[in-house]
């Protein structure tokens, strides 16, 4: 039997199970560039100027779309994401403008 206790602290939902593991589930949006796992995230907002926003929209980075991290290149180069069934690589400074949240 797995008993779990839940707490909400600073918009984070904390869970403590019987085996003393602590799981943190994010509720606040985070930057797309900070992803390091292949879990699915939903795009919430794109915070940049209109020309960059339109370019990202044309690549498929639209609020409400599901995106997941694939890989990144060395030395701060492009970061690859899986979006709408396609691998798409964008610059880190573009990924810094995209806010995502867990699904």
Q: Is the pLDDT of residue 26 over 70?
A: no
Residue-range domains of the chain with CATH: 30-102 (2.30.30.90)
- What percent helix, strand, coil does the chain show, rounded to 5? 20, 45, 35
Per-residue pLDDT at 1 = 47
**pLDDT tens profile 82-95:** 999 999 999 999 99
Judged by DSSP in three states, 86 sits in strand
The stretch 12-27 carries a mean pLDDT of 51
Please give the span between the terminal C-alpha atoms of the chain, in angstroms, as a whole number: 27
Neighbours of 33 (CB within 10 A): 20
Secondary structure letter of residue 34 according to DSSP: G
Q: Is the pLDDT of residue 51 over 80?
A: yes
Comparing 72 with 51, the larger pLDDT belongs to 51
Phi-psi region of 68 (alpha: psi -120 to 50; beta: other; left: phi over 0): beta
**pLDDT tens profile 67-78:** 999 988 878 789
């Amino acid at each position: 039997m797995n008993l779990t206790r839940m707490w909400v602290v600073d918009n984070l939902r904390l869970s403590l199970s019987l085996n003393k593991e602590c799981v943190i589930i994010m509720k606040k949006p985070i930057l797309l560039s900070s992803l390091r796992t292949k879990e699915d995230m939903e795009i919430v907002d794109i915070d940049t100027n209109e020309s960059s926003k339109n370019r990202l929209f044309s690549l498929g980075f639209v609020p409400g779309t599901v995106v997941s991290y694939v890989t990144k290149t060395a030395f701060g180069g492009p970061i690859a994401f899986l979006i709408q069934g396609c691998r798409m690589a964008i610059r880190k400074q573009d990924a810094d403008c995209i806010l995502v949240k867990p699904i």
